[in-house]
Every structure is written in C-alpha cells, then in structure tokens.
Amino acid sequence: MIALQEIQDAQKRVAKVISHTPFAYAPILSKKSKKEVYLKKENLQVTGAFKLRGAFNKIAKLHKECSGVVAASAGNHAQGVAFSANYYNIDATIVMPENTPLTKVNGVKAYGAQVILQGANYDEAYAYAVEYAKKHNLAFVHPFADRDVMAGQGTIALEILEEIDEIDAVVVPVGGGGLIAGMASAIKQLKPSIKVIGVTAAGAPAMRESFRLGRAVDSTEVRTIADGIAVRDTSPVTLEIILETVDDIVEVDDEEIADAILFLLENQKLVVEGAGAVGVAALLYDKLDVAPQSRVAVVLSGGNIDVTMLSVIIEKGLIKSYRKMKLIVTLVDKPGSLMKLTQVLAAVGANIVQIGYDRTSASLAYGDANVSIGLETKGKEHQEEIRKLLHKHGFRFHEER
C-alpha cells in the first residue's frame, strides 16, 4: 500500500492549491437509504474533480527535472495536469479520447495545455500518449498507476477522518483504481476497522472482475455514461493495493447512475458527473453490504458533466418518474380536431410543453394527422387519468418512451 507518510507529505504539497471540499451530512439520502450518509464533495474541487490532488502532487515533485509533461485522460486528470503544469510554468500536452465531452476539452485548454484527440476510449488515448512522451522526451503523468498520484488522491481520506473518525464505511468510485488505492491505504493505516467499498460502472467491469478473481483481467470494451471511470484494462499496480486494502467492489448500471445524478441535482442541489454519482447509486439501489443506520461516507469524485448529457438525463428522469409524458395522437385532419384534443387535456390538468403537427408521414392514412405532444404531469395516477379520458373521447394514440 501507499505509506501513510507519503500521503501526509502529499497533503502538505497540495494544500497550496486545492480546496478543502465540504464533507456534509445528507439527510434526504440518509432517510432513503436507511444509513447515516455524509458526502465528500470533490465535485466542488478547484478543477471540478479530485484529480487535481494526484496530478499536482506528482508535478510538484518532478517539475524541476522536466521541460513538459504528457497525460492521457477522459477529462478530469487532464484538467488536473493542465492546472498543475500551468502553476509551475511548464508545458502540458493532453491526449483525450475522441468522444470526450466538449466541456472537458475546453476546461483543459483554459489552463493553457495542448489537446490531442486520439482513440475511441481512454486506453487507446493512453497508448498514443505514452509513445508521444517517449518521442518528445517528456515526462508522462499516469492518471492512476503512480505512487505520487495515488498519494495525492489519498489526501481525501485524511480530510474525511479529520472531520469524523467514527465511521463505518467509505464508498469510492473505481475506474483505474488510483483514488480508492490512495484512500484505502490511508484509511487502513489510520482506522483499519472502516470498511472501504469501491463502485464500478457495469459497462466498465474490469477492476471489479479483477478484484473478484484476485488477478488482473481486462475488458473487451467499455460503454457507460460514467466516462470518468470508463477504463478498459486493469492496472496490476493499483490492483495489488486494492486487493490488500479494499473490502468490496460493487457495480451499478447506467440507469442507476442516471437516477443518482438526478437525485443529487434535485435533492442535494449538486451537479455531479456519472463517475462521481456511482456511490450514491449504490446506496439508492441497496448494493452495499452495510448494516442499517451505519455511518457511511460517499465520495462525489467530480462534477464535470457534459450539459447535453445532463439534459438527456433530466428528460428521461422526468419521464421515468411520471412527471412528463410524450404522446403521438392521430387526428382527423380538419378544423377543430386539435382544439378538441387540447380542451380534453386542459380538462384533466395536463400542461402542454411541446407540440408538433405532421400530416405528411407515409404511414398516415389520407385525411389523418399525427400530433406529437409533451405533457407535464403530476404522477402515475394523473397519467392514467389522461389515458382514460383520451380513450373516452375516442382518440387514437400511443406513448413514446
């Protein structure tokens, strides 16, 4: 594991730039999960994610010996490296997957780094970055398989234990494993009774499978909205520490992650990206082997979510929670038909937020028209009332999901 002294030294280095992020009780989540839940809000970190800690610790130790650094990242490590290189006035080149959200690309460029978009996923970007660093004789800053980086991430655990040492479990997102390796190293040396639980995305299962089997195994592909933990291959470096210090690793799927993002937005007033929300998803869907009323700390590792993805999550969440309804209604294409439909909807208290009219679709019979309608609704019973009333008035319709 990472020595406690290394993590404590890292804490002194990073103190000059990081935010000591809030660690706060979450009453609504506690009630819902039947646990006493505290959130470590690294989504409010200076660069929007915990990665600044490890990147800065690493670059603080090597900046005098190199002219520039190279990193591969889906976004958060990239911003941490770019910020740190800018702080020490050295060049930074960041290789990012081609599908990286624009907000993360722009975030890196804002710190003065050069961005190269290369590869379909993190692992392909990583392979390119390693070769690029060798070719240009630059220092490569690994996002997780590096002791200095892991030590920097471990400073989160020190902050949590400074606030509250009587805790039963700490829940940590897992991608490459650097965050949980650093945090678990600190926790097991300071308070070994605390259970450390990792959470992976179902679409990026390599580390969970490796933990289960006790050896490094890789995935053939990764696909998840939690792009910050979408790592295809397992690092033997982080796995060795994880096997020594971590008690369990569970997984959540994209639907559960999306629900957690929306839950945090609505109930905690926090914008959290997919990777940052997996711990909350594990709580909401009862994935953790932790007794009721246990005191649990959950790391919200980042908040750099693409606004387009956020809008999709919100829209789908409204539909799943019966607060929005989408209908395609087939009308006779004559004056008054649409007015009759809107009057029926008004009578049942459904608010129209979107409407479209199509009379040219090849699937329509001559003389018919399709009306697509988005409705604000007040729950499952209200939607059932709308359906009954439409049927009663003879409207032909189907729902969009």
Predicted local distance difference test score (pLDDT) of residue 401: 75
Q: Domain map of the chain by residue range?
A: 4-49+146-316, 52-140, 322-400
Task: Yes or no: say if 88 and 59 are a contact pair by the CB < 8 Å rule.
Answer: yes
Instruction: Say whether pLDDT at 66 is over 90.
Output: no
Q: Give me the architecture of the 52-140 domain, per CATH.
A: 3-Layer(aba) Sandwich (3.40)
Residues 6+ apart with CB under 8 A from 79: 47, 48, 49, 51, 52, 104, 107, 108, 111, 304
Enter the tokens of residue 142.
């690994």
pLDDT digits (tens, 9 = 90+) for 20-52: 999 999 999 999 999 999 999 999 999 999 999
Instruction: Say whether pLDDT at 87 is over 80.
Output: yes
Predicted local distance difference test score (pLDDT) of residue 123: 77
Distance CA 363, CA 111 (A): 53
Provide, rounded to the nearest whole percent, the portion of the chain with pLDDT above 70. Answer: 100
Question: Quick one: average pLDDT of 84-98?
Answer: 94
* CATH T-level fold of 322-400: Alpha-Beta Plaits (3.30.70)
Provide, rounded to the nearest whole percent, the portion of the chain with pLDDT above 90. Answer: 85
Instruction: Say whether pLDDT at 67 is over 90.
Output: no
Asked if 4-49+146-316 and 52-140 have one fold, the answer is: yes
Predicted local distance difference test score (pLDDT) of residue 241: 98
Task: Yes or no: say if 389 and 344 are a contact pair by the CB < 8 Å rule.
Answer: yes
Predicted local distance difference test score (pLDDT) of residue 355: 94
Residues 6+ apart with CB under 8 A from 239: 177, 207, 210, 211, 215, 216
Dihedral sign from CA coordinates of 41, 178, 310, 350 = negative
Question: Quick one: average pLDDT of 322-337?
Answer: 93
Which CATH code fits 4-49+146-316? 3.40.50.1100
Query: Of 306 and 253, which is predicted with more confidence?
Result: 253
Question: Quick one: average pLDDT of 199-205?
Answer: 96
pLDDT digits (tens, 9 = 90+) for 103-155: 778 889 999 999 999 998 777 888 999 999 999 999 999 999 999 999 999 99
pLDDT digits (tens, 9 = 90+) for 205-222: 999 999 999 999 998 888
Task: Yes or no: say if 66 and 136 are a contact pair by the CB < 8 Å rule.
Answer: no
Predicted local distance difference test score (pLDDT) of residue 257: 97
- What confidence tier does 203 reach under pLDDT thresholds 50, 70, 90? very high
Predicted local distance difference test score (pLDDT) of residue 64: 85
Enter the tokens of residue 259.
């629900």
The crossing angle, in degrees rounded to 10, of helices 76-87 and 102-109 is: 10
Mean pLDDT of the chain: 94
Enter the tokens of residue 370.
């399709």
Strand partners, 201: 252
- What confidence tier does 307 reach under pLDDT thresholds 50, 70, 90? confident
Question: Quick one: average pLDDT of 382-392?
Answer: 95
Does the pTM surpass 0.85? The reply is yes
Predicted local distance difference test score (pLDDT) of residue 262: 96
- What confidence tier does 255 reach under pLDDT thresholds 50, 70, 90? very high
Catalytic residues: 51, 301
Centre a 10 Å sphere on the Cβ of residue 99 and count the other Cβ atoms it contains: 12
Distance CA 208, CA 304 (A): 24
Predicted local distance difference test score (pLDDT) of residue 227: 87
Question: Quick one: average pLDDT of 60-89?
Answer: 92
Centre a 10 Å sphere on the Cβ of residue 372 and count the other Cβ atoms it contains: 14
Predicted local distance difference test score (pLDDT) of residue 308: 87
pLDDT digits (tens, 9 = 90+) for 368-381: 999 999 999 999 99
Query: Of 156 and 75, which is predicted with more confidence?
Result: 156
The crossing angle, in degrees rounded to 10, of helices 178-190 and 236-245 is: 30
Enter the tokens of residue 174.
């897992």
Predicted local distance difference test score (pLDDT) of residue 93: 96
Predicted local distance difference test score (pLDDT) of residue 147: 97
- What confidence tier does 101 reach under pLDDT thresholds 50, 70, 90? confident
Give the chain as a 3 state SS string.
Answer: CCCHHHHHHHHHHHCCCCCCCCEEECHHHHHHHCCEEEEEEHHHCCCCECHHHHHHHHHHHHHHHCCEEEEECCCHHHHHHHHHHHHCCCEEEEEECCCCCHHHHHHHHCCCCEEEECCCCHHHHHHHHHHHHHHCCCEECCCCCCHHHHHHHHHHHHHHHHHCCCCCEEEEECCCCHHHHHHHHHHHHHCCCCEEEEEEECCCCHHHHHHHHCCCCCCCCCCCCCHHHCCCCCCHHHHHHHHHHCCEEEEECHHHHHHHHHHHHHHHCCCCCHHHHHHHHHHHCCCCCCCCCCEEEEEECECCCCHHHHHHHHHHHHHHCCCEEEEEEEEECCCCHHHHHHHHHHHCCCEEEEEEEECCCCCCCCCEEEEEEEEECCCHHHHHHHHHHHHHCCCEEEEEC
